[in-house]
Chain A
Amino acid sequence: MESLGVLLTYPMDSYLEEELSKRCKLFRLWETPPEKRREFLRANAATIRAVVGNTAVGADAETIDALPALEIVASFSVGLDKVDLAKCRERGIRVTNTPDVLTDDVADLAIGLAIATMRRLFAADRYVRGGAWKAKGDYKLTSKFSGKTVGIIGLGRIGWAIAERAEAFGCPISYYSRSEKPQTDYKYYSSVVALAANCNVLIVACALTEETHHIVNREVIDALGPKGVLVNIGRGPHVDEPELVFALLEGRLGGAGLDVFEDEPDVPEQLFGLENVVLVPHVGSSTWETCKAMADLVLGNLEAHVTNKPLLTPAL
């Protein structure tokens, strides 16, 4: 792979970066100031044949246009909302992602966020760390998780894994999907509003596309209601964030466990004082084990590409 010029868009993983640097000709996009990037790409356009991007910085139309020699985009993510797939199709550029290896971690986090939100773990921890337990004696009750109805938007790999876990807590499962899945008994709803109206915990687990942008809007939030909890481990733009914030501040929504936000790394500060939210910085697949597996998949796909073997996880 020594002659493969790889544009790494973001310092997403040190092991990946090290391997790419050892095995390929590595270009680190973030080391160039934004105003000089176009020139940087032009200068190296003949060499760059691969782009490795992630959820922060992908391969948009402008980048793809600037790289006439581009052959493959290998995303360090399963979601491809930051890759201009239409452009790639047009130019015959191959695209790979990292499905399956991160399914468990993301599903684990979804359940962890749900229980942490409902049982107010963050508030309890803060209460104890603040020394409040010595001074006060009263206790609030929190919402039980086991047995509550879990509604999943998108029953793909991650949605399915979430369902399997929630079932172990005795949670009835319902879902929304573009079409009903005949291989399951889970209750299907053909509208997200209906799903939200009939569940206690609504979990976003679908891909981000034009159709699913703001799929959780005010109507859905109101249907979920003051006792409902929203968990988002998908993409920030799945949820109408200003509406979500208003609903939480006004008590129209019971709580939210959020791993993703519309404008990362910026998170609405109005949420910082709330006890019924859990806010984490896009850590869905951020474990040592999974990041290594994702990196190996990216490297494996690039290797397969240069040696004319079948791609490991083609996405297009």
Chain B
Amino acid sequence: MRLSGLPIPEPSKFSLPVLKTRQPLRRFAPAPAMMSVEKPAAETPAVEREHLPPVLLLRPLLSHFHDALAPKFRFLKPWESPLPRDEFLAAHAGDVRALLCVGPFPVDAGLLACLPKLELVVTGSAGVNHIDVAECRRRGIAVTNAGNAFTDDVADYAVALLIDVLRQISAADRYVRRGLWPIQGDYPLGRKLGGKRVGIVGLGSIGSAVAKRLEAFGCTILYYSRSRKPSISYKFFSNVTNLAAESDVLVIACALTTETYHIINKEVMQALGRDGIIINVGRGALVDENELVKCLMEEEIGGAGLDVFENEPAVPQELFHMDNVVLSHHRAVFTPESFHGVLEVVLGNLEAFFSNRPLLTPISE
């Protein structure tokens, strides 16, 4: 399903509200001026908008998202109301069947309890750890995610982080920009990527895409998954510590759930060993961050490439002085293609739902 006529946005600044996932549920102030601008759906007259299917939002959308979706759906925007959120929902969202959340804002049991007619939660992320999936299941609410919209970009990013850590690209770049090459001479040697054993934690769509790329660099691929994948020839491990013991690199690409919280812990890091590298493009909480920092400081592991952290936007300051880590602010998906792709998926899921067709990207149980 293609959004015809919708231009792919040029790489440019997109204002996103800074989201704090641990905020208590409370009334929302109107969106500050610095955040994304929502244009009213000017082409659709108010009378016609009334007939559009209602979709509840929890936060303002990026303008290009809003512009693409507003002609087709009537958005309920609690933050624009003077009422506290729960009262707003009681007054206006009693019949709402679909909730769209773009951004890691929590969809928890308390919120779901205010939405008795809810049947669908659409999220614009691959991860669904911000959604009480068990509660949704109990209530018969379907959940859709970004599907494969982000796969390529996240896989590219993981590979780039790994090459950067091993070959010290960002660190050597800093060296050059500080004018040190003529003064201090050649940069210390890095490490070869070819021949490294790469353990993928979570061989889903992203993990598989990472594997395919790294094979072309001469890496040996191993993996951990909840269950062995019969069609896959990579060596399977049912235990992450054992995977780490046979790997030079771990790439974390699995979903964050209660089972996978801190799946990369002290034991795993020690098994990975002093030359081992950890690349995390999943969720910060998949890794015991305090332990990671400790292991890096004590040189018990070799390095790390991190796009995600346990308490974003907070990043442990000890990492700022290390040349064997590469840090990034959760932006593996920030390309025009990924943004366009997820918009297609979000729109496709909403349209399918409201016309009683099968959802495009329902999450698996």
* Chain A residues engaging chain B, CB cutoff 8 angstroms: 104-105, 108-109, 111-113, 115-116, 119, 121-122, 124-125, 127-129, 131, 133-134, 137-147, 164-165, 167-170, 264-267, 269, 272, 278-283, 286-291
Taking a contact as CB atoms under 8 Å apart, the answer to whether B163 and A146 are in contact is no
Taking a contact as CB atoms under 8 Å apart, the answer to whether A121 and B164 are in contact is yes
Q: Measured between C-beta atoms, what is the minimum distance from A115 to chain B in Å?
A: 4
B192: contacting residue among A113, A133, A169, A288, CB under 8 A: A288
Taking a contact as CB atoms under 8 Å apart, the answer to whether A265 and B182 are in contact is yes
Taking a contact as CB atoms under 8 Å apart, the answer to whether A281 and B186 are in contact is yes
Taking a contact as CB atoms under 8 Å apart, the answer to whether B163 and A170 are in contact is no
The CA of A111 and the CA of B160, in the complex, are separated in Å by 8
The CA of A165 and the CA of B327, in the complex, are separated in Å by 24
Taking a contact as CB atoms under 8 Å apart, the answer to whether A168 and B215 are in contact is yes
Residues of A within 8 A of B163 (CB): 108-109, 111-112, 115-116
Taking a contact as CB atoms under 8 Å apart, the answer to whether A281 and B176 are in contact is yes
B238 located at the interface, meaning its Cβ lies under 8 Å from any Cβ of chain A in the complex:
no
The CA of A291 and the CA of B9, in the complex, are separated in Å by 44
B153 located at the interface, meaning its Cβ lies under 8 Å from any Cβ of chain A in the complex:
yes
The CA of A165 and the CA of B156, in the complex, are separated in Å by 12
**Which parts of B169-199 form the interface with A (CB within 8 Å)?**
169-170, 172-173, 175-177, 179, 181-182, 185-187, 189-195
With A141-B339, A169-B156: A125-B328 Cβ-Cβ less than 8 Å: yes
Known pairs A108-B194, A113-B169, A119-B156 / 18 extra A-B pairs, C-beta < 8 Å: A104-B218, A108-B192, A121-B326, A124-B331, A125-B326, A125-B327, A138-B14, A139-B329, A140-B334, A141-B14, A142-B334, A144-B156, A280-B187, A281-B172, A283-B167, A286-B186, A286-B189, A288-B192
Interface size on B, as a range, is: 35 or more
Residues of B within 8 A of A121 (CB): 160-161, 164, 169-170, 326, 328
Quick check: which of B43-51, B257-265, B312-320, B347-355 contacts chain A, the rest being far away? B312-320
Chain B, residue nearest A129 (CB): B320
Chain A, residue nearest B176 (CB): A279
Give 19 A-B contacts (CB < 8 Å), ordered by A residue.
Answer: A104-B192, A105-B193, A108-B194, A124-B327, A139-B334, A140-B12, A141-B14, A142-B11, A144-B152, A145-B160, A165-B216, A168-B213, A169-B152, A266-B182, A279-B173, A281-B172, A283-B167, A286-B190, A287-B189
